[in-house]
Amino acid sequence: MIQEISNRLLKQLENDVEQVCSQIKDPLKRLTMVLKLIREALKKLRLHVSDLKFKNKTEEIPIFKNIKPSFYQWQIYYTELYNIETNLPYGDADKQASFLEQELLFIERFFRQYAFLYQYYRLNADELDNLYFVRGAEMQSILLPEVPDLDPEFSTSCDYLFSKFRAFEALKEWVLERLLLLKKRSIDPQTLSGNLHPGEMNWTGDTIDLAEIGLGFYYTGKLNNGTAGLGEIFRWLEETFHVNIGIPAKRFAELRKRKRLSRTRYLNEMRDSLNLKMENEDEYVPTGKKKNNSAISDED
């Protein structure tokens, strides 16, 4: 029950955050609205958890090991992202690259600082879950970070740290994507030219559909002879169509979770629509008259 509820809450939160990020360009205003959405979602999750009647302590583990961190990671991620965006040197690609490389070192240093617990997280180990993810469990360790605003009814020893692991992995991906983009732009300045893009186009469909297209580009290797990164493709689509698609790994995971719908629903729809158009054009008309739905002209 709590898993279903949390899945709905998380999906709604991520959709709302995505919409805010696509519509609001001012970093501070965007962060303020995003944090408000996350706090509201966490508050709802806390209320649902407080209503649960646990048969034993181990039933708490999935909530604080997986469910809560899947929400709280975004509070950490967007706060850190705001700090990077607002401190990024303006206009100078070399200075920007140097700044981002320092951020990458900071992230890697954080993972090394909590190396044992990070390995525990990466391996999805469970031997110490009764200490790490049960409320009230006694654990004194210099390995654990200070936890801000600890709520004993909605916190355990390691749920904050696992949230931060998730957030910093997503942040690392963002930094690496920007570094790759900067390096390619410094090698080929023509990529900065606005003349490379056609007239303004806005994406008016669901962003998950555009994610399908981006993933299709990446896994078929048809952009830049297969050297274009997935994050780079997503950012290119975002800039071209003026939307926020989101984190590639998260969107890929959404497609994998589809059960009722085809995992590639939109790509299938494109294929079927194009095939239907061609089949209609191929139909034989005995009277010699042209069909109402004329063929696509070269000028279209």
In this structure, the answer to whether residues 186 and 201 fall within a common structural domain is no
> In this structure, is residue 110 part of a structural domain?
yes
Residue-wise pLDDT tens for the chain (300 aa)?
788 899 999 999 988 998 888 788 788 999 999 999 999 999 999 999 888 888 888 889 999 999 999 999 999 999 999 999 888 887 677 888 899 999 999 999 999 999 999 999 999 999 999 988 988 777 665 566 666 656 778 888 889 999 999 999 999 988 988 887 777 654 333 333 333 344 567 787 788 889 999 999 988 888 887 778 888 888 888 888 878 888 888 888 888 887 766 888 889 888 888 888 888 777 655 555 554 544 444 444
pLDDT at position 189, please?
A: 31
> In this structure, is residue 297 part of a structural domain?
no
> In this structure, is residue 113 part of a structural domain?
yes
Nearest to 82 by CA among 33, 120, 23, 118: 33
In this structure, the answer to whether residues 185 and 218 fall within a common structural domain is no
pLDDT at position 295, please?
A: 46
> In this structure, is residue 93 part of a structural domain?
yes
In this structure, the answer to whether residues 21 and 66 fall within a common structural domain is yes
pLDDT at position 19, please?
A: 85
CA distance 235 to 217: 13
Sign of CA dihedral 88, 208, 37, 132: negative
Q: Are 66 and 2 in contact (CB under 8 A)?
A: no
Name the DSSP letter for residue 55: S
> In this structure, is residue 292 part of a structural domain?
no
Burial class (CB in 10 A: 0-12, 13-18, 19+), 257: exposed
In this structure, the answer to whether residues 45 and 82 fall within a common structural domain is yes
Give the range of the structural domain holding residue 267, as residue numbers without chain letter. Answer: 197-282
> In this structure, is residue 162 part of a structural domain?
yes
Among 143, 175, 190, give the residue marking a domain's end.
Answer: 190
Among 190, 218, 253, give the residue marking a domain's end.
Answer: 190
CA distance 155 to 52: 15
pLDDT at position 192, please?
A: 31
pLDDT at position 72, please?
A: 95
Q: Are 266 and 213 in contact (CB under 8 A)?
A: yes
Amino acid identity of 295? A
Burial class (CB in 10 A: 0-12, 13-18, 19+), 279: exposed
pLDDT at position 232, please?
A: 84
CA distance 285 to 95: 65
Cβ contacts of 92 within 8 Å, gap of 6 or more = none
pLDDT at position 123, please?
A: 93
pTM: 0.64
Cβ contacts of 134 within 8 Å, gap of 6 or more = 57, 58, 60, 61, 64, 156
In this structure, the answer to whether residues 175 and 235 fall within a common structural domain is no
> In this structure, is residue 294 part of a structural domain?
no
In this structure, the answer to whether residues 109 and 205 fall within a common structural domain is no
In this structure, the answer to whether residues 180 and 235 fall within a common structural domain is no
In this structure, the answer to whether residues 61 and 116 fall within a common structural domain is yes
How many domains are there within the chain? 2
